[in-house]
Amino acid sequence: MKKLTSALLASAVFCTPLMADPVEDTLILNEEITMVTRTAAPAHVSDVLDEVISGWHFRGTETRAMQADDFDNPGMIFVEKAEEVWNTADGSEGKSCSSCHEGSDSMKGVRAVYPKWNEAAGEVRTLEMQVNDCRENRMGAEKWKYTGGDMTNMVALISSVSRGMPVDVAITGPAQSMWEKGKELYYTRTGQLELACASCHEDNYGNMIRADHLSQGQINGFPTYRLKNTKLNSVHARFKGCVRDTRAETFKPGSPEFVALELYVASRGNGLSVEGPSIRN
């Protein structure tokens, strides 16, 4: 009876039985950069997906248009705030980000390859982990909260200078075991609704869930400005919300579980353009 109830709950979530086609359109950023928003699936997911599709395609016309122009993209306000922080000294060493990295443009290409294996630390690091390492060990400053405003703004700034570049997250070598752990989490059903990430973003993308159009759950657009809560949202904050929606106990942002999941999910979008900060519902 318990399994039957869970199955009924899960099936009741999806409101449209037939998959809708994602919008056929092209994202050209600031009339200059043509973004890759759909492309052949990378080899490691080609057994389950023919192509990978950015969440941009699953939004309405107005939302997609907002992302195409930085003057209309509210996420860019937070990028500007981070630019000020980039040049502001903090911590016991009297350093700012620009003390080591010059302008934020020097970060071009960084977002595209994270999460990545850090040889010196012997671990897979997300961009947030690397930012806090710099703050603590180079600047002598306090760590930022993993999903806090300062951190999410800075990740958005670093993402913004890589827009248009292809996601290219490495999953072999020492990162492979973490990737495998993330893959296992992606397909594990949890919570009272017994849903996995794949239940929505692989088996039902294109369908409607309540009043929302389910995407493939690609994270190439993070940090994402959500019209729903009028702020930038980080990857792990979104993970936490998704797990919560399955009515399960969630992991903490920055936990090894979410780091592994981010590595796996990011790799599913290899070949798509970096879009952050994007705009979603």
**Catalytic-residue membership of 100:** no
The answer to whether the beta carbons of residues 241 and 105 sit under 8 Å apart is no
Residue type, 173: G
Q: Select which of 97, 197, 200, 242 is catalytic.
A: 242
* HEC string for the chain: CHHHHHHHHHHHHECCCCCCCCCCCCCEECCCEECCCEEECCHHHCCCCCEEECHHHHCCHHHHHHHCCCCCCCHHHHHHHHHHHHCCCECCCCECHHHHHCCHHHHCCCHHHCCEEECCCCEEECHHHHHHHHHHHCCCCCCCCCCCHHHHHHHHHHHHCCCCCECCCCCCHHHHHHHHHHHHHHHCCECCCCECHHHHHCCCCCCEECCEECCCCCCCCCCEEECCCCEEECHHHHHHHHHHHCCCCCCCCCCHHHHHHHHHHHHHCCCCECCCCEEEC
CB burial of 234-258 (b: ≥16 within 10 Å; e: otherwise) equals bbbbbbbebbeebebebbebbeebb
Show which residues are catalytic. 242
